[in-house]
């Protein structure tokens, strides 16, 4: 362990703020995925020298060649930023020693026991620690339980001999990226910022103010951590509610989509949420369980949150059963041996993001019941290796053609991409099970069953 020389005066937060304000600060981003890469580009475009780090060497190679590997990101500025030297990518942590601000954007998944897995955060901190120097600020953006920044990240970094608040600064700012949302970008989404101490908060606010239109300071890192969980738990609970309403209203012969459309005309007291085949993305299926786990430390059972998780997790089973019943009722066919085309592998429309997509649960369920399943997704031409669904790696999206559709017994719409020809689909298969209301207003030879 390094022993810090306490005779040295504490570093000045105002010196780092001045460096940020002048544009001379160097910004490092660790983790160049859906969160880190847009942030890296934003700082580069704002005039900062920006260094991106990722353990995946192919990512740094592509970025340094001016190429972007995430389809929905506007990477048009990338070649110019690389050519000017304002943006570089690396897989060597030592390169971040040059950075005045280091922003950590690594995954925070769940274990198989649905408990927080902070392995990526911990390993990142361990790797960063030898290169930490006085005057830097480290900001965590990965979603996690309240207290992580101070209880997990701070002790690891302080084993360098440097002390947070005296020699370096530590803050938390939750990522709020929404892949594929054309109405909001990194710059236009307000940024919540909480520091470990007032000085860290001031520095982090000054930094983010250079790349986002609005900074929302809060009193501590712990509050900022709680903000992100609250946002995603709000969504999880309301999606569970509307999924449950869908089951009830469908049994009653009522169109849930028509109900929501009418209800959202109320200008107050109602916010529309929409049903689906299950939750997807890195946030909503995972983040609530970070709080349920931490709450047990305080002898609190988060029954409401866990019930929402149960409702949402059950949706793929409901969809698979709906498909099985529809085949049997309409064509006296069993699911076993039927050829099924699954439409949409990404977790949401018009992106290539497959993280936690309910489509994988449906693939497992349908094939487990003996169906022969292909998929079509214009944004996911081939299934990449994944930790949870390695058996599907390498499968390719089949083309959507009239001749090809003729060979299927049913189609299952899991994700409602705009680039899909739904009219062709309606004329090409005898049965469509629609979890996204994609077939509203479209007619053809297919029987359309909502799910």
For the chain, the C-alpha Rg in angstroms (whole number) is: 24
How far apart are alpha carbons 57 and 55 in whole angstroms? Answer: 6
Q: Which of 395, 389, 392, 439 is nearest to 413 (CA)?
A: 439
How far apart are alpha carbons 228 and 192 in whole angstroms? Answer: 9
Q: What angle do CA 448, 426, 419 make, to 5 degrees?
A: 110
How far apart are alpha carbons 94 and 246 in whole angstroms? Answer: 53
How far apart are alpha carbons 327 and 330 in whole angstroms? Answer: 6
SS3 103: strand
Rounded to whole angstroms, what are the CA distances from 431 to 246, 416, 439, 443? 20, 16, 12, 12
Q: Which of 15, 32, 154, 29 is nearest to 95 (CA)?
A: 29
SS3 344: coil
- Name the DSSP letter for residue 160: T
How far apart are alpha carbons 431 and 84 in whole angstroms? Answer: 55
Q: How many CA atoms lie within 13 A of 250 on its CB side?
A: 16
Are the C-beta atoms of 414 and 304 separated by less than 8 Å?
Answer: no
CA 408 to chain CA mean position, Å: 33
Q: Which of 249, 260, 451 is nearest to 358 (CA)?
A: 451
Q: Is 283 a catalytic residue?
A: yes
Catalytic residue among 105, 205, 283, 414: 283
> What are the respective helix, strand and coil percentages of the chain, to the nearest 5?
40, 15, 45
Residue 424: other Cβ atoms inside 10 A: 14
Q: Which of 450, 401, 451 is nearest to 429 (CA)?
A: 401
Rounded to whole angstroms, what are the CA distances from 155 to 30, 61, 159, 299, 349? 19, 33, 6, 25, 41
Beta-bridge partner residues of 342 = 375, 412
Name, in order, each residue with C-beta under 8 angstroms of 118's C-beta and a sequence gap of 6 or more: 108, 144, 148, 152
**Residues designated catalytic:** 283
């Amino acid at each position: 362990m390094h022993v810090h020389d306490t005779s040295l005066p504490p570093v000045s937060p105002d010196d780092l703020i001045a460096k940020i304000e002048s544009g001379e600060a160097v910004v490092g981003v660790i983790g160049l995925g859906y969160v880190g890469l847009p942030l890296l580009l934003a700082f580069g475009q704002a005039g900062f020298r920006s260094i991106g780090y990722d353990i995946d060497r192919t990512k740094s190679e592509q970025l340094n060649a001016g190429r972007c590997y995430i389809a929905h990101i506007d990477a048009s500025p990338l070649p110019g930023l690389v050519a000017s030297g304002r943006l570089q990518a690396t897989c060597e942590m030592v390169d971040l020693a040059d950075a005045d601000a280091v922003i950590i954007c690594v995954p925070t998944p769940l274990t198989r026991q649905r408990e927080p897995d902070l392995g990526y955060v911990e390993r990142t901190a361990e790797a960063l620690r030898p290169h930490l120097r006085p005057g830097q600020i480290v900001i965590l953006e990965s979603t996690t339980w309240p207290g992580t920044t101070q209880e997990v990240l701070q002790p690891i970094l302080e084993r360098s001999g440097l002390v947070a608040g005296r020699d370096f600064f530590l803050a938390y700012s939750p990522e709020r990226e929404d892949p594929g949302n054309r109405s909001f970008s990194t710059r236009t989404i307000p940024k919540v910022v909480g520091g470990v101490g007032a000085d860290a908060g001031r520095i982090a606010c000054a930094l983010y103010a250079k790349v986002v239109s609005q900074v929302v300071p809060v009193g501590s890192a712990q509050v900022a951590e709680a903000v992100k969980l609250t946002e995603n738990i709000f969504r999880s609970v309301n999606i569970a509610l509307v999924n449950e309403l869908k089951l009830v209203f469908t049994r009653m012969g009522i169109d849930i989509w028509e109900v929501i459309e009418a209800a959202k005309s109320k200008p107050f007291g109602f916010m529309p949420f929409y049903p689906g085949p299950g939750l997807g993305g890195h946030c909503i299926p995972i983040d609530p369980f970070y709080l349920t786990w931490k709450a047990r430390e305080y002898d609190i059972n988060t029954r409401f949150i866990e019930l929402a998780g149960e409702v949402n997790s059950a949706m793929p089973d409901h969809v698979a059963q709906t498909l099985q019943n529809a085949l049997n009722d309409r064509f006296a066919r069993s699911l076993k041996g039927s050829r099924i085309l699954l439409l949409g592998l990404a977790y949401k429309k018009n992106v290539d993001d497959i993280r936690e997509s309910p489509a994988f649960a449906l693939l497992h369920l349908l094939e487990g019941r003996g169906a022969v399943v292909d998929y079509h997704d214009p944004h996911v031409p081939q299934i990449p290796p994944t930790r949870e669904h390695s058996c599907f790696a390498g499968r390719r999206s089949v083309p959507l053609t009239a001749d090809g559709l003729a060979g299927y017994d049913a189609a299952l719409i899991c994700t409602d991409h705009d680039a899909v020809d739904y009219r062709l689909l309606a004329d090409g298969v005898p049965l469509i099970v629609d979890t996204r209301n994609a077939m509203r207003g479209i007619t053809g030879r297919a029987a359309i069953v909502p799910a």
